[in-house]
Amino acid sequence: MELTDILQLVCGLSLLLFGMSVMSNSLRKRAAEGRMGLFDSVTKSPLMGFLIGIGVTALIQSSSASTVMVVGFVNSGMMSLLQAIYVIFGANIGTVVTSWLMCLSGIEGGSEVTGALAVFKTSFWVPIIAVIATAFLLFSKKEKVKDTATVIMGFAVMIVGMEYMTGAVSGLSENEEFTNILTVFNNPLLGVLAGVAITMVVQSSAASIGILQSLTTTGAVTYGMAIPIIVGQNIGTCITAILSSIGANTNAKRTAMAHLMFNIISALLLLPLYYLVSWIFSLTLGDSTINMIGVAGVHTIYKVISAILWWPFAKLLEKLVTKLVRTKKNKDEKVALVDERILNTPAVAVIRCKELSINMNRYACDGMRMALDALASGDLAQAKIIREYEETVDQYEDQLGSFLIKVSGTNLTRKDSAEITEMMHLLSDIERISDHSVDLLESVEEMKNRKIEFSEAAKKEVSVMAAAIREILDMSEVSFAKNDVNIASNVEPLEQVVDYLKEELKRRHVIRLQNSQCTMEHGFVLSDILTNLERVSDHCSNIAGCVIEIAGHDSMDMHSYLRGVKTDDTHFKDAFNEYLGKYTLD
């Protein structure tokens, strides 16, 4: 090869890798519109996990990326090892889409291709789609359209890269030295090692398959040479997941090992079987020249057969990797709430953040409900659980808060960006609800230790306010979890009723104090209780108000929104009067 050919080959490979990266990243972002919540269905059945593995990998055009994502899911407790194995089975098949797309660069047909058939030549349709994509990128203001245009542009660049590579090697068909080098790969072991090495270097089995497809245009590559290389390429792609699992927990490492064992054992079984069948039936396929479509076909058949063979033995694979990657003795591993590996797919990262925010809010609300139970009964049996919940919420705030900042720096859609902003604003409100549950518990403990007991009238009044707090907790929790604006719209009116109840209870306490029906000691404890309850309602109002504001205006000017609601909204006034009648003190 001359220097110009080498430069053209390197340029083509660079364009191929760049095009694949652009297309993959844009597809991940575009897929966010579908929320990629399909991963929630993995737990339903192995078949569902398998199909999701195929679908997501076909979407993001990278089995390495999807496998790394699965490693992250296992590391953060979103998925079990066995569930991950079925997803990996599917991911290995989903990656074949790229090899078939690359076959389009081989549709040329020479000068005899004219008329209607000429539209199939890449030299005809690639410039057209590139111009169309560029026009949408420059002039469209819609984010979805721009993302789709970027996908198309990445695909066009990928095809151009393949054509550059094909042109660079086209002159090698008559090069004796090149032919002699290729004959070395008639040795299956060397072919496998070559496939492993190339894929490890370029960090993409799809790209290494593309390199092999471009070499087939020389006419010097046979099925016998290509098959071992393809098998090796499937092993080499595991390096990305293996590297990603460094520093992860044991199950995440087992997931990466399962991907590796899947491909190694498949190679050890299927490659010898191919040669055995060829020898028994005297097949001449190995001596036949292979083309781009042949490479894609072999790649697909190998992947499908591997998945079929492994399907009944998924649990056996789980046991194998469990033995290969053992849990270290005397090591107490903690499952991370979040895992930075899923940042590669921002849509999934947003889903995970929302899920964790909902869990965090559930802990905070449940802790407050238990504290209200303790206030009503004086029973401190759940005191330890309340404090444990508060510690859990603090852990959520620390880990989730840091992760939300990282997610906000990724390539998000406008909707996802708004949702991340919402969660960042609400973490402190959720955490404060949890703090108030412990504060309320401490008031109950103080009453019990100092043998303070409210009058029957005070007990009844506090129970009314506590009932209002229970309802406002329920509404804010559900509205946040379901993004339900209708439920959220009822929170602020009830919060205003809670404010009224607080002032009214304090006024009635002063009257009892003047009539010597209670003491200042009672007043201090009551003031603490009322303050905690009223502040919980404030935080619930913040949560619900944020849900409404994000849904309605895509902004975060929550205080302006709440001021407007109190003065101008008819629904607010009607709901306020309804709650005022429901939580009457008389």
Domain boundary (298, 324, 350) is at 324
* β-bridge mates for residue 222, sequence order: 289
Query: How many Å apart are CA 278 and CA 286, to the nearest integer?
Result: 8
In a domain, 333, yes or no: no
In a domain, 329, yes or no: no
In a domain, 560, yes or no: yes
Output the furthest CA–CA distance in the chain (Å, rounded).
112
DSSP labels, 17-28: HHHHHHHHHHHH
In a domain, 167, yes or no: yes
Query: How many Å apart are CA 509 and CA 199, to the nearest integer?
Result: 77
Q: Are residues 507 and 558 in the same domain?
A: yes
Query: How many Å apart are CA 63 and CA 263, to the nearest integer?
Result: 13
In a domain, 337, yes or no: no
Give the three-class secondary structure for 74: helix
- Residue spans of the chain under pLDDT 50: 32-37, 109-118, 553-556
Domain extent, residue 212, equals 3-324
In a domain, 222, yes or no: yes
Query: How many Å apart are CA 322 and CA 302, to the nearest integer?
Result: 26
Q: Are residues 364 and 290 in the same domain?
A: no
The total number of structural domains in the chain stands at 2
Q: What is the pLDDT of residue 7?
A: 84
In a domain, 330, yes or no: no
Single pTM value for the model: 0.69
Count the alpha carbons within 13 Å of 162 in the hemisphere toward its beta carbon: 33
* Eight-class DSSP state of 382: T
* Eight-class DSSP state of 36: T
Q: Are residues 73 and 100 in the same domain?
A: yes
Task: For residue 426, report the phi and psi dihedrals to the nearest 5 degrees.
Answer: -90, -15
Q: What is the pLDDT of residue 35?
A: 46
Query: How many Å apart are CA 20 and CA 65, to the nearest integer?
Result: 12
In a domain, 347, yes or no: yes
Structure tokens at 505: 């209870």
Q: Are residues 84 and 183 in the same domain?
A: yes
* Alpha carbon 424 to its chain's center: 18
CATH number, position 461: 1.20.58.220
Task: Please choose, from the candidates 255, 216, 209, the residue with its C-alpha nearest in 3D space to the C-alpha of residue 236.
Answer: 209
Q: Are residues 359 and 480 in the same domain?
A: yes
Q: Are residues 351 and 305 in the same domain?
A: no
* Alpha carbon 382 to its chain's center: 35
Q: Are residues 312 and 416 in the same domain?
A: no
Query: How many Å apart are CA 168 and CA 178, to the nearest integer?
Result: 13
Domain boundary (324, 352, 386) is at 324
Q: Tokens 């959220």 — which residue? A: 488
Q: Give CA angle at 357 (352, 362), nearest 5°.
A: 125
Residue pLDDT, tens place only, 274-332: 999 988 888 888 889 998 899 999 999 999 999 999 999 999 999 999 999 887 655 55
Q: What is the pLDDT of residue 117?
A: 46
Q: Are residues 80 and 28 in the same domain?
A: yes
Query: How many Å apart are CA 585 and CA 459, to the nearest integer?
Result: 11
Q: Are residues 551 and 479 in the same domain?
A: yes
Close Cβ partners of 256 (under 8 Å, ≥ 6 residues apart):
67, 71, 238, 241, 242, 244, 245, 248
Q: What is the pLDDT of residue 368?
A: 96
Close Cβ partners of 181 (under 8 Å, ≥ 6 residues apart):
none
* Eight-class DSSP state of 187: S
Q: Are residues 276 and 397 in the same domain?
A: no
* Alpha carbon 386 to its chain's center: 31
Q: What is the pLDDT of residue 238?
A: 86
Q: Are residues 350 and 275 in the same domain?
A: no
Residue pLDDT, tens place only, 62-119: 677 777 778 877 877 778 888 889 989 998 898 888 788 777 766 554 444 444 444 5
CB atoms within 10 A of CB 34: 10
DSSP labels, 468-512: HHHHHHHHHHHHHHHT-HHHHTTHHHHHHHHHHHHHHHHHHHHHH
Q: What is the pLDDT of residue 364?
A: 96
Q: Are residues 317 and 392 in the same domain?
A: no
Distant-in-sequence contacts of 509-517, Cβ < 8 A, 24+ apart? 509/458, 512/455, 512/457, 512/458, 517/455, 517/457
> Cβ-count burial of 12 within 10 angstroms (0-12 exposed, 13-18 middle, 19+ buried)?
buried
* Eight-class DSSP state of 289: B
Residues 106 and 291: beta-carbon distance below 8 Å: yes
Domain boundary (291, 324, 357) is at 324
The end-to-end CA distance of the chain, in Å, is 96
